[in-house]
């Protein structure tokens, strides 16, 4: 449960980490609200009551535009997850999908702002409180803070651009970003590709780069010459990412570690 909440946190940061935009301050407001609801779920109602100016018409306009985008991306996530023939991996894919969860968070938030219920009684509020209880308050907040700091300063491949008005990038620029960002992302020490394979970081990244090259070549004819961000980058990033994962695992199958955690797809959210 804790990992799932952190995964959602990373996804929202990836989507809402805005810098230069006329509406950036209101997107940042949504981001701050999300942070408070996850890091301090037990006192989130007090936070809402203490910040009425934040929740103005522009905030709700921004939230509505995000909800439209989340719904669109959630449909794409479901389509991608349905590519898995293995039911267990298909279920894991859906559970770890970021956008599928975000409309629910927004619905919970709206119910709280409308005075219909308190945050600790919502689905996402209960999940955050449980995760915090299991992890311990200090560790939970530290984990959320680390996630915010890391993702706010890094554009990862799933969302090359996070501006309020979608930007366009060329195929070559986007492919270059994949080669640069995807291998290090897959080869972080706590990731499946390091934890469950007897390889060094250098060998992991070398294999991941080779797999990225092969997958980009496989799909390059289908990737549009100009990608509208973040929609196209998210869609093709997930397709390439899953391809790279499959190629990596097949390449290093002899080095794979077999244990309870590595063999349980639900352990890697």
pLDDT digits (tens, 9 = 90+) for 111-154: 999 999 999 999 999 989 998 999 898 888 777 766 654 443 33
Determine the pLDDT at residue 111.
Answer: 95
Please tell me whether the overall predicted TM-score, pTM, comes out greater than 0.85 for this model.
Answer: no
Residues whose CB falls within 8 Å of the CB of residue 69, separated by 6 or more in sequence, listed in order: 15, 231
What is the sign of the dihedral through the CA atoms of 121, 265, 74 and 179? positive
Instruction: Tell how far CA 265 is from the center of its chain.
Output: 18
Q: Which of 91-100, 103-112, 158-167 has the lowest mean pLDDT?
A: 158-167
Determine the pLDDT at residue 72.
Answer: 80
Determine the pLDDT at residue 167.
Answer: 66
CATH 1.10.246 fits 168-267, yes or no: yes
Determine the pLDDT at residue 147.
Answer: 61
| pLDDT(19) > 70 | no
pLDDT band at 161 (very low <50, low <70, confident <90, very high): very low
Residues linked to residue 170 through DSSP beta bridges, in sequence order: 226
Q: Which two tokens stand for residue 38?
A: 């996850």
Q: Which two tokens stand for residue 258?
A: 């077999």
Calpha distance 115→96 (Å, rounded): 30
pLDDT digits (tens, 9 = 90+) for 197-240: 999 988 998 999 899 999 999 998 999 999 887 678 778 888 88
Q: Which two tokens stand for residue 241?
A: 């990412």
**Mean pLDDT of all residues in 169-181:** 81
Residues of the chain with CATH 1.10.246: 168-267
């Amino acid at each position: 449960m804790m990992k799932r909440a952190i995964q959602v946190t990373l996804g929202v940061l990836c989507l809402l980490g805005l810098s230069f935009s006329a509406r950036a301050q209101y997107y940042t407001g949504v981001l701050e609200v999300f942070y408070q609801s996850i890091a301090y779920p037990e006192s989130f109602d007090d936070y809402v009551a203490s910040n009425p100016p934040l929740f103005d018409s522009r905030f709700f306009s921004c939230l509505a535009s995000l909800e439209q985008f989340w719904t669109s991306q959630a449909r794409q996530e479901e389509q991608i997850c349905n590519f898995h023939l293995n039911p267990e991996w298909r279920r894991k894919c859906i559970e770890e999908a970021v956008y599928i969860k975000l409309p629910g968070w927004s619905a919970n938030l709206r119910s709280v702002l409308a005075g219909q219920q308190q945050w600790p009684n919502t689905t996402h509020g209960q999940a955050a409180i449980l995760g915090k209880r299991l992890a311990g308050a200090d560790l939970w907040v530290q984990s959320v803070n680390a996630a915010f700091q890391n993702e706010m300063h890094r554009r990862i491949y799933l969302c090359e651009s996070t501006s309020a008005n979608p930007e366009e990038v060329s195929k070559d620029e986007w492919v270059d970003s994949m080669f640069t960002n995807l291998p290090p992302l897959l080869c972080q020490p706590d990731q499946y590709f390091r934890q469950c394979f007897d390889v060094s970081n250098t060998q992991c990244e070398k294999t991941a780069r080779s797999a990225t090259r092969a997958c980009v070549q496989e799909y390059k004819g289908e990737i549009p010459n100009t990608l509208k961000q973040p929609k196209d980058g998210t869609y093709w990033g997930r397709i390439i990412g899953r391809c790279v994962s499959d190629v990596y695992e097949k390449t290093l199958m002899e080095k794979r570690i077999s244990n309870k955690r590595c063999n349980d797809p639900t352990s890697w959210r």
